[in-house]
Amino acid sequence: MTSNKLVLLTGRLGRRVLVLLLVALLAVPVVQAAQRLRVNIDGDVFHVLSFDATVGDVLEEQGVLLAAGDEVLPAPDTPLEQVSAITVLRTIDVTLDVDGATTTHRGVWRSVEGLLADEDITVDATQVLRPAARTPLEDGDTVTITTPTAVTVVADGEVSQLATHLGTVGELLDNAGVEVRADDILSPARTTSLTDGAEITVQRVGFDEVAEEVALPFQEESRATSQLFTDQSRVAQEGEEGLRIDTYRVTVIDGEAAERELVSEEVVREPVTRIVERGTAQRPPRRMADDGSVWYDLAQCEAGGRWDYNGSSGYDGGLQFHPDTWRRNKLSGYPEYAWQASPSQQIEVGKRLQSRAGWGAWPSCARKLGLI
């Protein structure tokens, strides 16, 4: 600032000199003081000394070009004498992904929180926000909001309703602690992406061994024998069923048998063939009793025609009398046992028994001979 000494002059000359001095002083330009400013361009901070008039002049002088949507604080037309700092926020593009639906947003926010507030988006407690609300944003960033997927898990007899942010069936099961063994049936597969309302089923598969007894039928064999007449037969060997053990591998799904596979067969007892002997001998001509009856035929059927038969069956004689029956019906003076008596004596006792009990006293042979 220039200091001027004024000389006091009097009279007309003094007044003329004073006027000239005032005019000269007004002609000298006023020198403005430089303004010190803090400038922040998207976080890049520097300081400048400026003699410019407005904020916009400073930015232009510094080569800061503004794009549509950029924010300048204070406004570009603000006089510089009112300013100590200038902030420029560049416009950025951010992608917003909400459950897979993407939109692009343009603004000057510098945090996820600012973006959501500006777009009037509320994230509830069940949703996942990435990155976090206070994370700084840069041009080209993506912000995701994921709503939990509601799924049903059916395993081990229990039905569980789950809400998850996980992406696949396998991730969900691992997170829930549901083990799926190699033989278990999982539907859908582990790599399947989760969708809202999906049902995941784990069927437990196990294996059992079951042994079953199987009866083996016996065969029947017929053999000829000359020891029997042509109208006679006898069982020489009784048949007996065999036994086989079949072992099955049973697949069990959730406690229920689903299918089975035969793995082994073991014969533990072979069947025994039933052998029937059939007679080939021809009967001798019928020998009639003295009265023309069929007592000899009856004796042939009962004891093979042997009137002195005394076997271990408890019956003896040609007509196979029980000792008690013989004693009740025999005549005085007849032998103690039927096998000791003559054919005629036995026939006589037989007649006495037949008159009381009928031919039913010899049911089998009487039927064969057509007597009953």
Report residue 251 as tokens.
């697949």
**pLDDT for residue 38 is more than 90:** yes
Q: Give me the CATH code for the 92-146 domain, please.
A: 3.10.20.30
- Find the mean pLDDT for residues 313-333: 94
* Cα torsion 37, 42, 46, 48: sign: negative
**Domain boundary assignment for the chain:** 35-88, 92-146, 156-203, 207-277, 284-368
Between residues 72 and 26, which one has the greater pLDDT? 72
Residues 350 and 315: their CA atoms lie apart, in Å, by 14
Query: pTM of the prediction?
Result: 0.48
Q: In what order do the strands lie in the sheet with 35-41?
A: 44-50, 35-41, 85-89, 71-73
- Find the mean pLDDT for residues 139-158: 92
Binned at pLDDT 50, 70 and 90, residue 18 comes out as very low
Amino acid at 127: Q
Least confident segment among 31-35, 98-102, 161-165, 244-248:
31-35
Residues 199 and 161: their CA atoms lie apart, in Å, by 9
**pLDDT for residue 163 is more than 60:** yes
Report helix angle 295-303 to 343-357, nearest 10: 100
Question: Do 207-277 and 284-368 fold alike per CATH?
Answer: no
- Find the mean pLDDT for residues 170-191: 93
What letters, b where the CB count within 10 A reaches 16 and e where it falls short, cover 271-288? beebbebebeeeeeeeee
- Find the mean pLDDT for residues 257-281: 95
Give the strand pairing for 71-73 and 274-281. Answer: unpaired
Amino acid at 23: V
**pLDDT for residue 292 is more than 70:** no
Q: In what order do the strands lie in the sheet with 199-203?
A: 158-164, 149-155, 199-203, 185-187
Count of beta carbons in the 10 Å neighbourhood of residue 218: 17
What letters, b where the CB count within 10 A reaches 16 and e where it falls short, cover 320-343? bbeeebbeebbeeebeeebbebeb
Amino acid at 45: V
What letters, b where the CB count within 10 A reaches 16 and e where it falls short, cover 106-121? ebbbbebebbbeeeee
Domain 207-277: state its class.
mainly beta
Count of beta carbons in the 10 Å neighbourhood of residue 315: 19
Residues 70 and 22: their CA atoms lie apart, in Å, by 49
Binned at pLDDT 50, 70 and 90, residue 350 comes out as very high
DSSP 8-state symbol, 359: G
Domain 284-368: state its class.
mainly alpha
Between residues 17 and 48, which one has the greater pLDDT? 48
